[in-house]
Every structure is written in structure tokens, then in C-alpha cells.
Chains A and B, each alone.
Chain A
Amino acid sequence: MSTLQRVWDSNFAYQFRRDPVAICSALVLLAFVLAALLAPWIAPQNPYDPLQLDLMNSKEPPAFGGQGNPDFPLGTDDQGRDLLSAILYGTGISLLIGIFAVMLQAVIGVSIGLVAGYMGGRVDSFFMRLADIQLSLSTLMVAIIALAVFQAAFGPQRYEDLAIFMLIVVIGIAEWPQYARTVRASVLAEREKEYVDAARVIGLSRARIMFRHILPNALTPILVISTVQVANAIVSEAALSFLGLGMPVTTPSLGSLIRSGFEFIFSGQWWITTFPSVVLIVLILAFNLLGDWLRDALNPKLYKET
């Protein structure tokens, strides 16, 4: 109880409560996560089950227009898939890829940044040059090459099963330098502080000082970039899927849904592309707004503990 009370009273929570944008974006994200988690129970249909799909229902317009079928509130796609269900499941897949890819980025990037920042010297130069090289190749370019190679190597059938892992790995690896740089910068600042000397005076090992003492103090910027990175990863995934290198149409993510509807956009079936796009935009916007707010709220210059 007292912990809850402390959290509620903290400056952080106070600033959160006073910022309607932060509250809204957090609520929107929460709604998306809940919807994605509960999709199997709330979705009218399981879009991955071919037996539930009926080609007869394909390209039904949204129900609210008056002409559609009330069974499909947002209409259906060209396979007769209920768009609402597909979006619910697709949001889940997009979030899953986004979050796991970012976790992978964080693990790689944080470890490298920590070691580079704390050890300094040659180790530091080596990893930072590596990061420069990685950054100079754009994420999308690396991902396109890697995924194209995988697709060719595994064959389309097998690739479809593995797609989700591949996307996580590729997006995860392509963006570690963001984390490495951020972490390194805060490690360089923390390393000079006297509590690190105090730990060295005790005789603690380097690994222990890095992980037990420095890392917890470098977490704030990690948290801030994580929200934005999740958004970026989701966008990358959508872009790759849109290019046909991402999730297959049988288990669509938001990106593959947009792609699948894109060819019909000029033949009048605008809803297939539009609804997933709107969901994607709102999702990304919410992540970015929350990230911006976090950055301001946790900015040590603006935030003074009293």
C-alpha cells in the first residue's frame, strides 16, 4: 500500500496525471495491447483458420455504411476474412514483433554500450566504429537483403513459418547501435561519478560494477528510447511486410493487411487498406507521444527531486 502511495505521490506520477496527452496515449496503447491479447476471445472470427473463411464473403464493405453485412463490422478482405478480426490479430503480431525486436536490440545494444563506455580505449573505438558502419546502412536495406536471402534459402513455405522470428532477429540486429550509443553516453557520464570509485575501492569486479552499479543508473534513457524504438520496429515490420518480405498473408500483421488491400484501393474496396493503416498510424503516434513525454518527464534538468 505504502509503495503504491509513494508511486502515486512521486513527481513522475504527478507529471503524468497532469498531462492529458500522456494519459491519452497511454490509454490508447493499453487499449491496443488489451485488444491484441484478448483477440481470440473478442474477435468475431479466427482469421488464421482457413476453415472459417468463406470466399463468398470477400470484399464486403463495412457494416456502418448501410450496405455491408452486420457480421463484418469493418468489412472483409479479398479472402473473405473479417477485417476487424484480422486487425485485432494483426495488431498483436505487429506489437509482438515490435516488442521482441526491441528487446533483442536492447540486449545487444546495452551490453555493447556498457562494455564500450566502461572499458574505453580500443574496445570503445572498435564497437563505436562498428556502430557507425551499421548505422550507415539503413535498417530497411539490411533487412531487405537479409530477408530476401532467407526467403531464397528456406523456400517460401518454410519461410512463412519462420517469418516472425526472422523479422524479430533482423529488425533486432539492425538497430542495436541506437541503444549502444545511448547507453555508452550515459555510462561515460556515470563512470566519472564517485559512487563508481567507491565500488572500485571496495574491490568489486568490473562486471559487477558495470551491471550492478552503472547499468541501473543508465536505465532512464533506455526506457525513453525504447518506446520510440518499438514504434520504429513496428514501422519497419510494416514496411517489410508491405514489400512482401514480412508476414505472409495467411497470418497477416498490420503491414501485410495494408499490402493485401492496396491493390483494391482503386477498385472501390478502400476499407481493406484504410482501416489497418489508421490503426497503424494511431499506434505509432501513441508510442511516439508517450516517448516524447517520457523524455521530458525524465529529463534530469527539468526533473528535480526534492
Chain B
Amino acid sequence: MTEPLVKVQDLQVHFPIQVHFLSREKPVVHALNGVDVEIDRGDAFCLVGESGCGKTTLGRTIMGLVRPTVGEISYDGERISGLRDQALLPYRRRMQMIFQNPYASLNPRMTVQQTLEEPLRFHKSELSDAEVREHTENVMVSVGNDPGWGSRYPHEFSGGQRQRISIARALMVDPEFIVADEPVSALDVSIQAQVLNLLMKVRKERQLTYLFITHDLSVVQHFGTRVAVMYLGTVCEMTTPKTLFATPRHPYSQLLLSAIPKLGRKTFVPVKVPGEVPSPIDLPSGCVFHGRCRFANERCKSQVPELKNYSGAQVACHAVEEDRL
């Protein structure tokens, strides 16, 4: 088997939280608790899970925006976690990121042209003005933007148009890997389709690898080649979207799938989740999901389940291992 493009090993990220400065406690948010993920070249790797489960943190840590507390990240076989800014530069042009909020991800004081040119001039300073302009124009056209937009400011554009500009910015340096953090969540349904189509199109044209963060399972089903379901900073199931939708194994995956509203379903199927939402500050012992899981037993309360292979899926659940489902 070939080397994965991105390899995340036992990644833990803790954020200190502000308490009274005299207090001796040093509480932390356990945003990620030992995540192992491998993203192969050409994958559209989707990350799903509820709000606050650490999806964004994983994406940002891979991009080097957050320092891992424990664990390491390799890119194309080379370790990139813990590198200094300068040493990261060669990787910066190979990996790019698209953000969730189209209203905050473009600098409001820079014209579209300035925004797009900046990464190119920074990474390829040898290019002449004419070459930069030509490249910008090509990228704008390839994402379906009017090249005449260059002199305008972001506030003159709608959410979908801005998201296309963000995608263009990410493509300026011809990256091979893109982290897309909920790129369509802030957009209306009619615009979501436009942006998703664009992301699929550029992926095909440029052989891109995606880490696609979303909370919309229908997008995963449509878009992903692999999917990881996260809960409270851990990966509970990793498989292909097809397998996930056909046979969700982890109890949380099952819950998630039963909860998505279905178009044209005649009756509402109520979902009852026992227990309280656990907090990432006082992490539950054992399996992080045990407090809300119908299948939890004593072992689940004390021992952390590991991701194990079951024909076509990796699942971290004692009940699956013991075949109790």
C-alpha cells in the first residue's frame, strides 16, 4: 500500500481555559483526545459529528494553525507537526484551507485581486506582474467567477460568490490538499449546490485531496469517498459513506443517521437520546459516548475503546467488538 498523504497519529489538543488568576486549577478543554486518521491521495475525506466535537480543531491542527498537545502529523511521509513557521513554508503551498464563514474569511479591506494575488506573490515571488495577473484570471475563470471582479471589495458579493472567491484563493498556489471547513453550511440550499459542484469539479480537474468537514450527512453521502464520524474529540467510526449509510455500526453513527430528517418521509420518527451531553472539560471515563449509549456496560464506563477493523469499517466500540448490537 502506498503512503497516505496525511497521517495523524494519536493527536491530542487541549485548550487551556481562563479561570480566576488566583485559582490553582488549570482546567483544559479536551478538544481532541487521541485521533488517528489517514487520508490517502485523491480521497474526499469527510469528517462529521456534532457541534464542538473537534472537527475544526482537527482541520486547523493539520494546517498548522493549532499546535498539537500530544501526537504527530505527517504530510507525504514527512513530519510537519511542531515545525517552525519557516520550515513549514514549503508545505504551505501544497496545503490550503477553505473556511466556513464567507463573511469573515475574506479581508474586507482588500480587493478581490489583492486577496487572490497575495498567496501567489508570496510563494512565487519570481513571477512577473503579467504572469500573476494571467494566473489570477485563469483561476477566477476556472471557479466560474467573472475576472472583472478583481477591483471590487468582498462586501459587494453574496455569500456564494464570496465562497467561490475563497476557493479561488485556495487554488492560487496549486495545492494538492485542501481542508474545507464546512464550506457550504452558511449558504442557502440553492447556493450550496453551486459551491459543492465547484468543489467536485476542481477536485477532478486538479486531482485534489480533500478533508471535508461538515455536519450534513447528505453532503457526505454525495461527496465523500471516506468518512470519519467523530464524537467528543475521538473518532468512533471510519469507513466509506456507502458502508456507513448501509450499515452504521457505532451506536452514535446509528443515532446520527436516524436523526437526519428525510425528505418525503410521511411520519416523524422521534429520536430519544438518554443522558446528558457530556462536557469536553470533564471528559467521561471510558468510552466518551457511554453516558448516552443504549448499549453501554461496565466495560464501556471504564475502558476506552480503540478503533478496530471490521470488514470495511473501523469502529471504536466495545459493543461492536463483543457483538452485542
Chain A interface residues toward B at CB < 8 A: 193-195, 197-205, 213, 216-217, 305
Contact = CB atoms under 8 A, between A and B. Distances in A.
Given A201-B63, A201-B97, A203-B123, A193 B104 contact: yes
A216 B97 CA distance: 23
B122 A197 contact: no
B65 A201 contact: yes
A278 B126 CA distance: 61
Nearest to A200: B65
B122 A202 contact: yes
A205 B122 CA distance: 10
Contacts of A197: 60, 65, 97, 99, 105
B209 interface: no
Given A202-B119, A203-B122, A213-B107, A194 B99 contact: yes
B118 A217 contact: no
B26 to A, nearest CB: 15
A201 B88 contact: no
B97 A305 contact: no
A186 to B, nearest CB: 13
A203 B105 contact: no
B118 A195 contact: no
B65 A198 contact: no
B65 A202 contact: no
Contact of A198 (B95, B99, B122, B155): B99
13 contacts: A194-B104, A197-B60, A197-B105, A199-B118, A200-B65, A201-B92, A201-B97, A202-B173, A203-B88, A203-B92, A216-B107, A216-B109, A217-B109
Contacts of A201: 63, 65, 92, 95-97
B109 A204 contact: no
B108 A217 contact: yes
B104 A195 contact: yes
Contacts of A217: 107-109
A9 B280 CA distance: 50
Given A203-B89, A217-B109, A305-B155, A198 B97 contact: yes
A194 B162 CA distance: 13
A143 to B, nearest CB: 34
Given A201-B63, A203-B85, A203-B92, A194 B105 contact: yes
Given A200-B65, A204-B122, A194 B101 contact: yes
Interface residues of B, number: 29
B100 interface: yes
B164 interface: no
Nearest to B108: A217
Given A197-B97, A203-B123, 16 more contacts: A193-B105, A194-B104, A195-B106, A197-B65, A198-B105, A198-B166, A201-B92, A201-B95, A202-B119, A202-B123, A203-B88, A213-B107, A213-B110, A216-B110, A217-B107, A217-B108
A191 to B, nearest CB: 12
A198 B180 CA distance: 12
- List of 7 A-B pairs having minimum Cβ-Cβ separation, nearest first: A203-B92, A194-B105, A216-B109, A194-B99, A195-B107, A202-B119, A193-B104
A194 B163 CA distance: 12
Interface in B78-119: 85, 88-89, 92-93, 95-97, 99-101, 104-110, 118-119
B249 interface: no
Query: Chain A CB within 10 Å — which of B89, B122, B123 has the most?
Result: B122
Contacts of B250: none
A25 to B, nearest CB: 27
B231 to A, nearest CB: 25
B28 to A, nearest CB: 16
B169 interface: yes
Contact of A202 (B92, B105, B108): B92
A299 B113 CA distance: 28
A201 B105 CA distance: 12
B102 to A, nearest CB: 9
Contacts of A194: 99-101, 104-105
A199 B121 CA distance: 13
Interface in B56-76: 60, 63, 65
A66 B153 CA distance: 61
Contacts of A200: 65
Interface string B262-281: 00000000000000000000
A217 to B, nearest CB: 6
Contacts of A193: 104-105
A239 B311 CA distance: 84
A216 B88 CA distance: 27
Contacts of B88: 203
A195 B105 contact: yes
Query: Chain A CB within 10 Å — which of B88, B104, B155 has the most?
Result: B104
Interface in B250-296: none
B173 to A, nearest CB: 8
Contacts of A305: 155
A71 B78 CA distance: 86
